[in-house]
Structure 1
């Protein structure tokens, strides 16, 4: 029951002294005490009755009220039979701590008052239980009737005035039963959820922001294997604009039922995404095998949106670093070879291959990257195709050639939708995303994929736990390299660098590293020698050997540019 109901019921002998703004507090029981510190006997929500025998001086009032507030008491009722009128210091202490205080006259015994409150609480609990059972029945009917999550949450909001939403861990609003949450507030709630998980807090997670209180309840999937397959990043949360920790058990039971219905919807979404994953894996496998562009185009046509204008595709590459897995540089043993990371070029087999996971670390990172991309690209006008690849993932995002779309539209969308990850991904996890320019032809997809991985590598080198780089931030030579056919790129690279690599292998020399340092120092002999810690004469000998093996002249700008591009193609 509410405190207001006690006063509105016309019970004689009770008069409110302070706390009129706090009368909507719930009362779960009654406790009579004259102990100085009764906190050990309070569990929260009690109306405390006292004869004030604990008071010997004004300071006792402040101490007593502070103890009651700390223990979660709903209100205080003071009887005047033993010590006389309620002292001003007790009224002032209750006002300071916002604890409702009532005076109980001599004609009202504590026994009668306790009986009234207990009977009223029991009656309301029985009524609440009947109503909750009926609401559970209507929730199930709404779910089986195809009302969707928005309809179900709307029913809850209209029926029992619970404002609730369903959010993903990226902050995406999956469903709403009240006014839509703005992007900034969703980001705050997503970060709070991630932070609570990182510190292993027990749900419900609570967040106070902008004068509002929200509770977040993680939605547990019925299928345990799905949770294991997707990992924590597939988790949705039921967000309620109240502190549900204070709710009675029957009311919490309604939320549990609602969370189960949300879990059913999450499983349905997961089932729908599997088709897109298989298609994305097929396309990447065709790219890797050098299949005819017509075959690739035919496969993509299955997923193309129905549009009057030609369809374009942008590719998104996602690289994830998970501490403690082989793709974490800190976890490699001294002297061990570097792990297989997101590839340097899409021309390599690892870049375009369908996902072949060789370790649990790759499984974890790949699933995480795939889930994050799927959540970040959900609710777009056309469905993106996403596949896990080793320690990352690749998404193919359809668009319209006649649409507004600047080439960095997808990058901007990803930055906005994944803003909740920045600074709160937890456990040292890092996400690096690269986005290609739109391409309209299937034979340009390999170059777009390489461009996306180049952008992801640039993002990986920047600080922070989350970074997106669009193709507009790439240097012009990267775009030229990505646009050239793979066979041309490989032949150009091998013609210039293979003689040097072979010489290094036979003589344990460092000609390739010397060439890279020389170009990086803009051809300065002294700076390059200092960087390599060798004498200038030694550097001149090495450069002479490079020119002799390649029949190139490093004093000529054209040859310097060729070597620079060949090194970028490694």
Structure 2
């Protein structure tokens, strides 16, 4: 397809702003983006559609266009819905770099342009594909309620009698046809995701035919709309982040027209996938900014100010300031040819979604940054009740991997590992550095275990481990705060003297009589205080291990 053909299509309503001499360029794909740097998702030959959300001032146009030209895109099309006319600085930058530039009228949906290009690039389709795409375009542009992958899946069911589902790489159900039949069970979703990842690691082309629980499914990979199957240097760069389309049918005997139809559907869904990925940019940037402040030793007040900015974005409408947890993940491949950080980032964003949640939106409250081969998530928790009751708030390491271990192990195959560490919840900026080090140390504990997918939580940083010389001071402080802060808070509010009582009880080797005598208390009063200590901390002062933990915490405080 040539760029000139886009101008000849009246329905698209495109207006050429520059690049008249370059209209014979070929278009090999289409990508919608508002990222400031989308180059990693481009493979060359794309028509790039943008709403200009990346542009803050006139100085942003030159670097954006330069990145597109370096990636080898065919042309740029800028929407007029947000800013009205396309800014002159963008026109000049495109002219300077000889990049054809189109203006997209506000009445024209990017989905219409995308579907037109997909149809033309893929060649002539059978009549059913044209009908599905056209109906999908109308429904996608009719209003907010009409959008999303569910629309095209419903059309597959009604027009072609095909039941289909969109799944994440961990097997989470993102979308599915609502037209008849039972819901796809979670164990089937996990099994299909595992089969898809295992097949993808072999490099075989889709669709992959999978018999499971007496039914045959055909699995189609959903790749970024701007990335061809050959775009990634290594399949491991994307295998743990691509969605898949699972169709309840055996595609082995399908005609080319029907296979073409499903490939077109995956491209339509990929456009929505890319849009939602771009929407994560703000949350990722917030996490990156907080992480940089924490790691550079910024003042707690500065970190707290940044957290106050992050809280309304991640937990809109929340009245009280939240507590925070830190989760650290690392994806490592044998040979070190593949950078693990971006893979771990997209994977951690998926893992942190509630496994029972459906749809593509639940990750809107998850902020994940990456540095080197490590991904770091800043997870907000609604403020805990003023009274500590000894329960463990927030995320638990084992629960995070419970439903995703099977598919991820298949994707990691024999040459990859995922290790994950979870901190305790902290309620202030002062505790965030300790939480980060605690999560990192817990991840190292997980890395010492056998298996492709392993996790460890802060509960597993036992007191005897804290005595080792290589354990960071921040981890020791976090351990001490987690154990003693509930008691200090209670003493501050009630003047109950639980900390002095605990110190005396341990100093008297747990003797009720000697301790009561030393504190000038009745034994029943002492028993009440010790019971309150156990209730607030979830520990048992009759156990040697818990006594040792308290002893070390008091010594390190």
TM bucket by the smaller chain?
0.5 to 0.7
User: For the structure 1 residues 298 and 228, does the alpha-carbon distance in structure 2 shift closer, same or farther, using more than 3 Å as the test?
Assistant: farther
Q: What is the rounded CA distance, in whole Å, between the counterparts of 2:347 and 2:273 in structure 1?
A: 15
Aligned residue in 2 for 1:430 = 417
The equivalent position to 1:201 in structure 2, one of 204, 212, 216, is 204
CA contact (8 A) 2:132 2:152 kept: no
CA contact (8 A) 1:280 1:395 kept: yes
1:418-457 superposed matches below 5 A: 418-419=404-405, 420-422=407-409, 424-457=411-444
Residues 253-290 of structure 1, C-alpha deviation per residue, up to 9 Å, x if partnerless? 32122111111011112101122221111111101222
User: For the structure 1 residues 381 and 432, does the alpha-carbon distance in structure 2 shift closer, same or farther, using more than 3 Å as the test?
Assistant: closer
Aligned residue in 2 for 1:504 = none
User: For the structure 1 residues 312 and 457, does the alpha-carbon distance in structure 2 shift closer, same or farther, using more than 3 Å as the test?
Assistant: same
The equivalent position to 2:348 in structure 1, one of 373, 379, 397, is 373
Question: How far apart are residue 182 of structure 1 and its match?
Answer: 2.3
SS of alignment partner, residue 440 of structure 1: coil
The root-mean-square deviation of aligned C-alpha atoms, in Å, is 3.3
User: For the structure 1 residues 131 and 368, does the alpha-carbon distance in structure 2 shift closer, same or farther, using more than 3 Å as the test?
Assistant: closer
CA contact (8 A) 1:172 1:376 kept: no
CA contact (8 A) 1:153 1:164 kept: yes
SS of alignment partner, residue 234 of structure 1: coil
The equivalent position to 1:314 in structure 2, one of 320, 325, 337, is 325
User: For the structure 1 residues 408 and 477, does the alpha-carbon distance in structure 2 shift closer, same or farther, using more than 3 Å as the test?
Assistant: farther
Matched, 1:136 2:136: no
SS of alignment partner, residue 302 of structure 1: helix
CA contact (8 A) 1:171 1:186 kept: yes
Matched, 1:184 2:187: yes
User: For the structure 1 residues 265 and 417, does the alpha-carbon distance in structure 2 shift closer, same or farther, using more than 3 Å as the test?
Assistant: farther
Matched, 1:409 2:412: no
Aligned residue in 1 for 2:300 = 293
Aligned residue in 2 for 1:302 = 309
Q: What is the rounded CA distance, in whole Å, between the counterparts of 1:166 and 1:186 in structure 2?
A: 10
Q: What is the rounded CA distance, in whole Å, between the counterparts of 1:223 and 1:457 in structure 2?
A: 36
CA contact (8 A) 1:423 1:464 kept: no
Aligned residue in 1 for 2:46 = none
Aligned residue in 1 for 2:378 = 396
Matched, 1:152 2:163: no
User: For the structure 1 residues 381 and 374, does the alpha-carbon distance in structure 2 shift closer, same or farther, using more than 3 Å as the test?
Assistant: closer
Q: What is the rounded CA distance, in whole Å, between the counterparts of 2:161 and 2:133 in structure 1?
A: 15
CA contact (8 A) 1:214 1:241 kept: yes
Aligned residue in 1 for 2:58 = none
SS of alignment partner, residue 467 of structure 1: strand
Q: What is the rounded CA distance, in whole Å, between the counterparts of 1:136 and 1:232 in structure 2?
A: 27
Aligned residues: 331
Aligned residue in 2 for 1:464 = 451
SS of alignment partner, residue 244 of structure 2: strand
Question: How far apart are residue 477 of structure 1 and its match?
Answer: 5.8
Aligned residue in 2 for 1:342 = none
User: For the structure 1 residues 154 and 225, does the alpha-carbon distance in structure 2 shift closer, same or farther, using more than 3 Å as the test?
Assistant: closer
Which stretch shifts more, 134-143 or 476-485?
476-485
In structure 2, stretches of 5+ residues that fail to align are 1-124, 354-360, 468-472, 481-547
Q: What is the rounded CA distance, in whole Å, between the counterparts of 1:316 and 1:192 in structure 2?
A: 28
CA contact (8 A) 1:143 1:152 kept: no
CA contact (8 A) 1:444 1:483 kept: no
Question: How far apart are residue 398 of structure 1 and its match?
Answer: 1.1
Q: What is the rounded CA distance, in whole Å, between the counterparts of 1:245 and 1:162 in structure 2?
A: 15
In structure 1, stretches of 5+ residues that fail to align are 1-127, 326-359, 489-560
Q: What is the rounded CA distance, in whole Å, between the counterparts of 1:215 and 1:366 in structure 2?
A: 31
User: For the structure 1 residues 184 and 479, does the alpha-carbon distance in structure 2 shift closer, same or farther, using more than 3 Å as the test?
Assistant: farther
CA contact (8 A) 1:455 1:469 kept: yes
SS of alignment partner, residue 189 of structure 1: helix
1:528-567 superposed matches below 5 A: none
Question: How far apart are residue 473 of structure 1 and its match?
Answer: 2.0
Q: What is the rounded CA distance, in whole Å, between the counterparts of 1:289 and 1:461 in structure 2?
A: 28
SS of alignment partner, residue 127 of structure 2: helix
